[in-house]
Amino acid sequence: MAAIVELHGVTKQYRVDGKDVTALDGIDITVERGEIFAIIGYSGAGKSTLVRLVNGLERATSGRIVVDGTDVSGFTERQFLRVRTGIGMIFQRFNLFRSRTVAGNVAYPLRVAGWPKERRDARVAELLDFVGLLDRAYSYPDQLSGGQQQRVGIARALATNPSIVLADEATSALDPETTQDVLDLLRKVNRELGVTVIVITHEMEVVRSIADRVAVLDSGRKIEEGSVYEVFAHPRTDTAKRFVSSVVHNEPNAGDLERLQGRHEGRIVTARVGEDGRLGAVLSDVARHGVRFEILFGGIGALQQRAFGSLTLELTGSDAGVDAVIAELRAITEVKEESR
């Protein structure tokens, strides 16, 4: 795969009340063509600034930015106008033009790009069909629900056939069900049109449901980056762990553990369930060591089409027997023994 957006040592400083505030600090990120890349962080982490560097709505203080093979680091505002035609953007609050109809909103970037009227009309119809709003072409944004407004936002972002779409908290103002619809639509944009999507979010659920890779941003620094599976399975930093635990509920928290330990005498271990699914093979054979097991807690779901989850087990038997079982489990997966 080839890189479509590259950030090398990008730094952004603001001057606030005579003092320099560092919003982004030495960011290196490479987004591959055709992927959905998520940037997650708490508010104030600098992610909105970061995504705006790509289309020049904000300028880096230092560092190099390459978009679709062109180094845009030193571009003027005028030079960026051309770049922006090839990059769509969708927003948390939709930012539709209230004075224009749905069709007028979608047509705006086409007017800017100088498309003649017949081609423009055909393209608007095609886009509204794609987002499922052909029947609302002559409605005004105020007359639409939040989810519909974001669909218009997506159609507008796609108007000029961009190779990149930037989604800045695109689902944060929507209810959970509508969020899923909009995420499905973004996935469709990515899969069917081959558009690279860069998603900015503070919701790990968004990352889990659509992203291929994710970078974790904290106080202007990139603290973690990897495939979504990797980061979910092995979060290295506390921030990443907090994000993962916000959507992964199959591991018992401190309160759950206390309750479990109050009720169960045996030793408690939590084993990760991966794609190979050999946990059952080991468990079906624990009697060999004079050990019994009980499943106390856990869950198994899918992440990027791979099994992902964990089971918390009570193992009862002689210490030596339980040790032997834990060793067998450790041979096939990660196991954590919960201390009493």
Is 112 near other proteins (CB under 8 A)? yes
Q: How far is the CB of 313 from other proteins (least distance, A)?
A: 51
User: Using CB under 8 A, which of the segments 84-92, 221-229, 230-238, 242-250 binds other proteins?
Assistant: 84-92
What's the rounded Cα separation, in Å, for the pair 169 and 48?
9
User: Using CB under 8 A, which of the segments 59-67, 107-115, 228-236, 280-288 binds other proteins?
Assistant: 107-115
Which 54-83 positions form the footprint of other proteins (CB under 8 A)? Answer: 55, 57, 77-78, 81-82
Both tokens of 81, joined, read 């106008």
- The binder of other proteins chosen from 43, 44, 71, 97 (CB under 8 A): 97
Q: What is the full DSSP assignment across 85-120? A: HTEEEEETT----TTS-HHHHHHHHHHHTT--HHHH
Q: What is the full DSSP assignment across 24-70? A: EEEEEEEEETT-EEEEE--TTSSHHHHHHHHTTSS--SEEEEEETTE
Is 100 near other proteins (CB under 8 A)? yes
Residue with tokens 């539709």: 96
What's the distance, CA 334 to chain centroid? 25
What's the rounded Cα separation, in Å, for the pair 325 and 340?
19
User: Using CB under 8 A, which of the segments 63-71, 144-152, 159-167, 220-228 binds other proteins?
Assistant: 159-167
Is 87 near other proteins (CB under 8 A)? yes
Strand order in the sheet with 164-168: 87-91, 164-168, 196-201, 36-40, 213-218, 221-227
Is 30 near other proteins (CB under 8 A)? no
Which 240-279 positions form the footprint of other proteins (CB under 8 A)? Answer: none
- The binder of other proteins chosen from 24, 159, 216, 315 (CB under 8 A): 159
Both tokens of 311, joined, read 């089971």
Is 99 near other proteins (CB under 8 A)? yes
Residue 169 φ/ψ, nearest 5 degrees = 50, 45
Is 101 near other proteins (CB under 8 A)? no
Is 98 near other proteins (CB under 8 A)? yes
Nearest residue (CB) to other proteins, 50 versus 325: 50
- The binder of other proteins chosen from 17, 20, 118, 142 (CB under 8 A): 142
Is 17 near other proteins (CB under 8 A)? no
Q: How far is the CB of 148 from other proteins (least distance, A)?
A: 16
To the nearest 5 percent, what fractions of the chain are helix, strand and coil? 40, 30, 30
Residues at the site binding other proteins, with contacts judged by CB under 8 A? 55, 57, 77-78, 81-82, 84-85, 87-89, 91, 93, 95-100, 108-109, 111-113, 140, 142, 153, 156, 159-160, 166
